[in-house]
Each structure stands twice: as C-alpha cells, then as structure tokens.
C-alpha cells in the first residue's frame, strides 16, 4: 500500500510496477549526505525538491516483459526404467598393438542394448558375436593415428524411438598403437640425403615423428621435416652429413609409439628393417 501511494503521489513514478511484485520486498533506511541527496534530486528534470529520506530495497527483480511462446503439445509420453549397469574396463590386450590388429577389451557389464567403442573421436560398432558382458573383440579402425590411444565402451539405449538414447559410458583404457614402416627395406641412402619412408596408419599434422637409426657403434635420432600434410603417409628425414656409413636398424617413433623390429624366431635376434648409409 505504501508503494502504491508513493507511485500515485509522484508523476515521475507513474510507470513503476514495483507495487505489483509478488516477492517480498524489504526496505531499510539509507543514510545519505546532503550532497548525495542533492545529486539524486538533480536527475529529476524540473521537479521541485521535497523533504525526502532514502531507503534501500532488497529482492527487487527487474525483468524484461516477454511474451511466452506456446510449445507444441506432446503427442506421446514414454517412460522407461533400466537398471544401473555401468560398463567397466579392467584391461585391454595387447597393450602395444599394430593397426588393423584385433584388440580385446575385458571388464564387466560390457554388453548393452547398443554397444559401441570410442577411440578418441572415432566410433566403432563391433559385431554382436564379438560382444559379451566380460569381453569385446574389435579390429582397430585403419584411420586411427599411431601413438598413445584410449578405448571407451558406450551403451546406447533403444526406447522404441527413431533415435537411440545415450546411455552409460565406461572408464577409458590406454593402449599404444604402433606405426609401421611400409617402404620396402633395406634401402640405401647417402649421408646428407633425404630419406622418404611410407608409414601406416596415416600421421596427423601435429604429431611428432622421429627416425631412430641404431648400429653397434652409432645411434641417430632424426626428426622429420616440417610441415607434414594432414594426414601424411610419406615422411621425409634428412640424414646428417656427419652420419657414419654403415648398416642401421630403422625404427620410427610417433608420439612415443615406436614401430617394431623384425625378430628371427630361432635366434631371437633382430633382423630388420635396415637402412644403409653410404
């Protein structure tokens, strides 16, 4: 009532709707100096000064008046209840794997209505026959870049609608995806020359690529030439002019993941791949 009387008594408050507020508004006296009161009244144009006191109001909401838009009516209501069975990955096997090989994921509650595997930004749907509650087997996608990668199990729910609903997600499990040198080796290169190697799977632009050359007497770590294409399947390495001539075992390291060396099954000695520097 006090607010309504104040609005009616002063024309400059005619547009105020504070009296219509549904929330509780609390006013408390506010001590202002004569100078502050003078500045306050100066903002009201051609208004005579009157005896006044200042109060502070709390819980005053200032909102823009918007016309709400009426939504379409709900055609069908569906309620579904599912048990909470979050998938959990205990381990992946093997921990170090080549592209195109089979990765085995072991854990609990791995099978769902619609089971998918997420490798970074890549989603893969394993065959139903390869999925059980305790194990999933999947062939790694060929476009997955080498390096330290993660696997995650995702369950989508089928509720009878046109689209599946995102359900439970497991923890992530890391593994190492090895690069592979696909260039036919051995290969001969002069010191100071450029060695081009074909690699699989493709290498990303921002990945770190290093050529490792090892012999009994000498070792070299040679970074790739920049920039790389995206994705890159051929990488150039500049052999140092000071490199000592000889035969070297060749490996490629991509983001910490190294390509494998060939091993003789009888002697268990390394046999290749090799690069000869002249």
Which segments of the chain belong to CATH 2.60.40.10? 88-178
Lowest-confidence segment of 17-21, 184-188, 207-211, 220-224 by average pLDDT = 17-21
Q: What are the pLDDT digits (tens) for 126-146? A: 999 999 999 999 999 988 999
User: How far apart are the C-alpha atoms of 278 and 166, rounded to whole Å?
Assistant: 59
Architecture, CATH, for domain 180-277: Sandwich (2.60)
Cα–Cα dist 229/203, whole Å: 8
Name 234's Cβ contacts closer than 8 Å, sequence gap at least 6: 196, 197, 198, 199
On the CB side of 11, CA atoms within 13 Å amount to 5
For the record, the structure tokens of 257 come out as: 């993941």
Q: What is the pLDDT of residue 160?
A: 65
List, for residues 84-96, the tens digit of each pLDDT value.
789 999 999 999 9
Task: Kindly report the CATH class assigned to 88-178.
Answer: mainly beta
The tens digit of pLDDT for each residue in 56-78 reads: 877 756 666 777 788 888 877 77
pTM over 0.75: no
Q: What's the token pair of residue 246?
A: 């000889």
Question: Residue 21: pLDDT above 70?
Answer: no
Give yes or no for residue 50 having a pLDDT over 80.
Answer: no
């Amino acid at each position: 009532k006090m607010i309504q009387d104040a609005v009616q008594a002063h024309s400059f408050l005619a547009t105020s709707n504070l009296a219509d507020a549904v929330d509780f508004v609390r006013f408390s006296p506010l001590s202002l100096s004569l100078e502050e009161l003078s500045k306050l009244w100066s903002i009201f144009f051609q208004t005579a000064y009157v005896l006044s006191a200042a109060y502070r109001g709390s819980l005053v909401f200032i909102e823009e008046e918007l016309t709400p838009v009426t939504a379409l009516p709900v055609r069908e209501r569906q309620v579904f209840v599912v048990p909470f069975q979050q998938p959990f990955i205990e381990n992946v096997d093997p921990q170090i794997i080549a592209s195109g090989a089979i990765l085995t994921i072991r854990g609990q509650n791995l099978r769902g209505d619609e089971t998918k595997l997420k490798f970074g930004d890549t989603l893969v749907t394993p065959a139903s026959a390869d999925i059980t509650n305790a194990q999933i087997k999947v062939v790694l996608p060929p476009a997955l870049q080498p390096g330290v990668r993660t696997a995650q199990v995702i369950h989508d729910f089928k509720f009878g609608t046109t689209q599946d609903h995102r359900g439970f997600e497991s923890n992530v499990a890391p593994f190492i995806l090895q690069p592979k040198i696909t260039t036919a080796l051995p290969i001969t290169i002069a010191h100071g020359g450029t060695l081009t190697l074909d690699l699989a799977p493709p290498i990303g632009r921002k990945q770190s690529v290093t050529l490792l050359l090892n012999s009994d007497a000498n070792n070299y770590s040679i970074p790739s030439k920049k920039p790389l294409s995206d994705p890159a399947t051929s990488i150039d390495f500049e052999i140092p002019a000071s490199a000592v001539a000889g035969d070297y075992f060749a490996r490629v390291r991509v983001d910490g993941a190294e390509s494998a060396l060939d091993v003789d099954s009888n002697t268990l000695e390394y046999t290749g791949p090799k690069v000869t520097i002249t």
